[in-house]
């Protein structure tokens, strides 16, 4: 069975806008996939359905054996525990230090400190920020803050890491560092990564699978693909 399977998936928002219109897509465990396409083509909507922020209007979205459309609100946590999410804006809690930010998903699950500590240390090690665990978000560079977010997303040992423009606020050099961390997570831990991006250089350099969306439909899907988005704005 495929790790992610999207079948004839439509999403129409309440205002009548159709964001995805008959998407079909399969992603295997351990893949690294870029989702690209012009602004408004449905990239964020597609990944929001993967973590059940949105439900498909029609069709199927299956993630790690869970049918997202059929998942009750009270069971969404079961899906969320299988995945980590990283956004463009860091969404760190400013009053918590690095350690507590990374620990947050585990503390809210009710785990004991004894169980939390080794996992937080491991996650911070993964992104090279163990020595910053007592710092506060506003004391860190943008790249470091994004690495803290990656550690927080990975602290639960997810099989899937979803990233929506994780380098959108970063300069090219820092973006490169973030991509090295993501690549390492994919290569060494075998974590499946689905990443939305507008960054042409990153896509062209990484030589990964590239899925191009155009107006809510799949325009192309290539292994070792290139960036080929025509922005009309
Ligand atoms: N919550 C929402 N309500 C209504 N329309 C939305 C909502 N979110 C996105 N859209 C619309 O759906 C389309 C796809 O948006 P989105 O998935 O965010 O695209 P992208 O991430 O590729 O820029 C756009 O026309 C956008 O305006
Ligand atoms: Mg978007």
pLDDT mean over 127-153 = 97
Q: What is the pLDDT of residues 75-123, one digit of tens each?
A: 999 999 999 999 999 889 999 999 999 999 999 999 999 999 999 999 9
Residue 181, phi then psi, degrees to nearest 5? -65, -45
pLDDT digits (tens, 9 = 90+) for 212-223: 999 999 999 999
Buried/exposed 152-178: b ≥16 CB within 10 Å, e otherwise: bbbbbebbbbbbbbbbbbbeeebbebb
Q: How far is the CA of 117 from the centre of ligand 2 (A)?
A: 34
Which ligand is in closest contact with the Cα of 229? 1
Please identify, by atom number, the ligand 1 atom nearest to the C-alpha of residue 164: 21
- 223 Cβ below 6 A of ligand 1: no
């Amino acid at each position: 069975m495929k790790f992610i399977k999207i079948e004839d998936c439509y999403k129409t928002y309440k205002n009548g806008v159709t964001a995805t219109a008959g998407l079909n897509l399969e992603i295997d465990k351990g893949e690294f996939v870029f989702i690209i396409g012009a602004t408004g083509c449905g990239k964020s909507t597609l990944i929001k359905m993967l973590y059940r922020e949105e439900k498909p209007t029609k069709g199927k979205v299956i993630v790690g054996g869970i049918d997202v459309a059929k998942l009750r609100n009270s069971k969404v946590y079961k899906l969320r525990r299988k995945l980590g999410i990283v956004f463009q804006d860091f969404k760190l809690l400013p009053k918590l230090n690095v350690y507590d930010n990374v620990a947050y998903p585990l503390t809210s699950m009710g785990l004991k400190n004894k169980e939390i500590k080794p996992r937080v240390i491991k996650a911070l090690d993964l992104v090279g920020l163990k020595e910053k665990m007592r710092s506060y978000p506003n004391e860190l560079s943008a790249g470091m803050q994004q690495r803290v977010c990656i550690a927080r997303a990975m602290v639960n040992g997810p099989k899937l890491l979803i990233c929506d423009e994780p380098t959108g606020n970063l300069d090219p050099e820092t973006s490169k560092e973030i991509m090295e961390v993501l690549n390492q997570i994919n290569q060494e831990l075998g974590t499946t990564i689905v990443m939305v991006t507008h960054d042409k250089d990153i896509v062209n350099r990484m030589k990964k699978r590239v899925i191009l969306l155009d107006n809510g439909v799949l325009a192309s899907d290539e292994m070792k693909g290139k960036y080929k988005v025509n922005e009309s704005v």
